[in-house]
């Protein structure tokens, strides 16, 4: 029996979907990319911005009208819009964030298979592993805590068991994800830390690279960086949730930090990881952001040892404090987002240019008769000539040419 999947949103959503796929394949269901072949579909949803939620609702409406396949729909949009969805899409099955751990069991009850076959669909190289969910912070623009609940962590032994299982299935890179990954372990007794977890994962055979999806600077201490640098499997790329470089805006975001503190942490990372690919999230056009405060963020980015940006135009989420504030005029918001995205593109190209001629280890993620694609430890996508059945997943590549801000070309070294 075949099933199809679709995933909107964050890496935690992707990790959940990857886990559901592996679980169902282990029970004799076969993943397909064509909805027309599928007996049922699985959708994980996102409501972090207005646009994200609109895209999800448009997708649900389209599949309902055109595919005739029942979908199991989970996640943040269900947590926000449950009643309306139940009403409108009666042949679909909805799971909010508390119910979604029942999704696989429900699929097996609804669509039983009598098969002892086990399928292996995805080209297994990199896997997202969700180790933490929820958040105890209340950033004034963020709807996530209301949708995903309090911060909670997976017990280390469960994380290690999942990592071993994924390694056994052929995955060589594990990307640790969470809604606030840096808060991992604070809710456990005895208390654990993300550092403890990464240290334990070093010993999982078959896992070559451990990548941290996103870090919250409020949790990062000097020793975390120093000890992380001594762990051989830790990837050479780090992503930070910063949101603004202006102290006044950071305060209005209720993030309880300052630009100078962010800069101190970023420069420590640069000291211990001189070649690392460092990136950060920024919100453009937060309500009340004056031109001078916006320029403070631009100056912050230019002073920080960052190599790329993820830029999000401010999106008011009903139920958040920031949604009650006077928004900036849309042209100003768009112009600031465009300026930051431009700056981010220049930084990405400059970083890739500095990587030309250098050799990096990485994981093979795609292979076809025309080329092979490797994701390096420092998170570059490098296209190399076809490998002709070179099965080894961990490779060394020399970067030779920058094709664009998202792709380099090179050779196996």
Cα distances (angstroms) measured from residue 126 to each of 15, 25, 200, 234, 279? 11, 17, 19, 14, 20
135 binds ligand SF4 (CB under 6 A): yes
Size of the site for ligand SF4 (CB under 6 A): 11
Site residues (CB under 6 A) for ligand SF4, limited to 240-279: 241
Least separation, in Å, of the C-beta of 134 and ligand SF4? 8
CA 406, distance to chain mean position in Å, is 17
Residue 144 interacting with ligand SF4 (CB under 6 A):
yes
- Residue 145 binding ligand SF4, by CB under 6 A: yes
What is the nearest approach in angstroms of ligand SF4 to the Cβ of residue 99? 20
CB of 290 to ligand SF4, least distance (A): 22
Nearer to ligand SF4, 113 or 323 (CB): 323
Structure tokens at 302: 């230019």
Candidates 132-140, 196-204, 297-305, 354-362; binding stretch for ligand SF4 (CB under 6 A): 132-140
CA–CA separation, 350 vs 151, rounded Å?
A: 37
Q: For residue 180, state whether it binds ligand SF4 (rule: CB under 6 A).
A: yes
- Rounded CA gap, 310 and 95, in Å? 29
Q: Out of 56, 147, 179, 276, point to the residue binding ligand SF4 (CB under 6 A).
A: 179
Residue closer to ligand SF4 by CB (options 138, 401) is: 138
| Nearest-approach distance from CB 144 to ligand SF4, in angstroms | 4
CA distances from 83 to 77, 99, 102, 107, 149 (A): 11, 15, 19, 21, 19
Print the binding letters for residues 192-221 with ligand SF4: x by CB under 6 A, - otherwise. Answer: ------------------------x-----
Minimal distance in Å, beta carbon 289 to ligand SF4? 17
Question: By C-beta, is 257 or 378 nearer to ligand SF4?
Answer: 257
**CA–CA dist 283, 8 (Å, integer):** 20
Write out the two tokens for 405. Answer: 């801000």
User: Does 137 sit near ligand SF4 (CB under 6 A)?
Assistant: yes
Q: Which residues bind ligand SF4 (CB under 6 A)?
A: 135, 137-139, 142, 144-145, 179-180, 216, 241
């Amino acid at each position: 029996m075949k099933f199809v999947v679709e995933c909107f949103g964050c890496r935690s959503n992707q990790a959940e979907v990857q886990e559901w796929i592996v679980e169902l394949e282990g029970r004799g269901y076969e993943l397909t990319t064509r909805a027309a072949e599928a007996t049922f579909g699985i959708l994980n949803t996102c409501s972090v911005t207005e646009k994200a939620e609109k895209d999800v609702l448009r997708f649900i409406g389209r599949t309902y009208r055109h595919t005739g396949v029942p979908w199991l729909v989970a996640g943040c949009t269900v947590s926000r819009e449950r009643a309306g969805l139940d009403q409108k899409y009666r042949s679909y099955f909805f799971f909010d964030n508390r119910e979604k751990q029942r999704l696989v069991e429900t699929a097996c009850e609804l669509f039983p298979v009598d098969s002892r076959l086990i399928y292996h669909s995805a080209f297994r190289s990199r896997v997202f592993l969700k180790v933490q969910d929820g958040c105890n912070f209340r950033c004034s623009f963020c709807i996530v805590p209301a949708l995903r609940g309090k911060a909670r962590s997976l017990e280390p032994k469960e994380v290690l068991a999942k990592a071993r299982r994924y390694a056994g299935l052929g995955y060589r890179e594990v990307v640790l994800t969470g809604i606030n990954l840096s808060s991992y372990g604070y809710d456990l007794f005895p208390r654990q830390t993300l550092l403890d977890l990464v240290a334990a994962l070093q010993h999982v055979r078959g896992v070559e690279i451990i990548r941290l999806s996103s870090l919250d600077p409020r949790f990062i201490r000097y020793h975390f960086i120093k000890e992380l640098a001594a762990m051989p499997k830790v990837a050479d790329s780090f992503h930070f949730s910063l949101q603004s470089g202006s102290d006044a805006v950071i305060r209005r975001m209720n993030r309880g930090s300052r630009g100078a503190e962010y800069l101190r942490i970023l420069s420590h990372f640069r000291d211990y990881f001189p070649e690392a690919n460092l990136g950060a999230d920024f919100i453009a056009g937060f309500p009340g952001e004056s031109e001078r405060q916006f320029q403070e963020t631009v100056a912050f980015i230019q002073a920080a040892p960052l190599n790329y940006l993820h830029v999000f135009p401010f999106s008011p989420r009903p139920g958040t404090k920031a949604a009650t504030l006077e928004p900036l005029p849309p042209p100003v918001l768009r112009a600031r987002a465009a300026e930051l995205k431009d700056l981010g593109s220049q930084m990405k190209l400059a970083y890739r240019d500095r990587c030309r001629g250098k050799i990096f280890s990485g994981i093979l993620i795609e292979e076809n008769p025309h080329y092979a694609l490797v994701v390096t430890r420092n998170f570059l996508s490098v296209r190399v000539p076809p490998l002709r059945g070179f099965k080894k997943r961990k490779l060394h590549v020399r970067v030779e040419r920058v094709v664009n801000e998202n792709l380099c070309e090179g050779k196996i070294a």
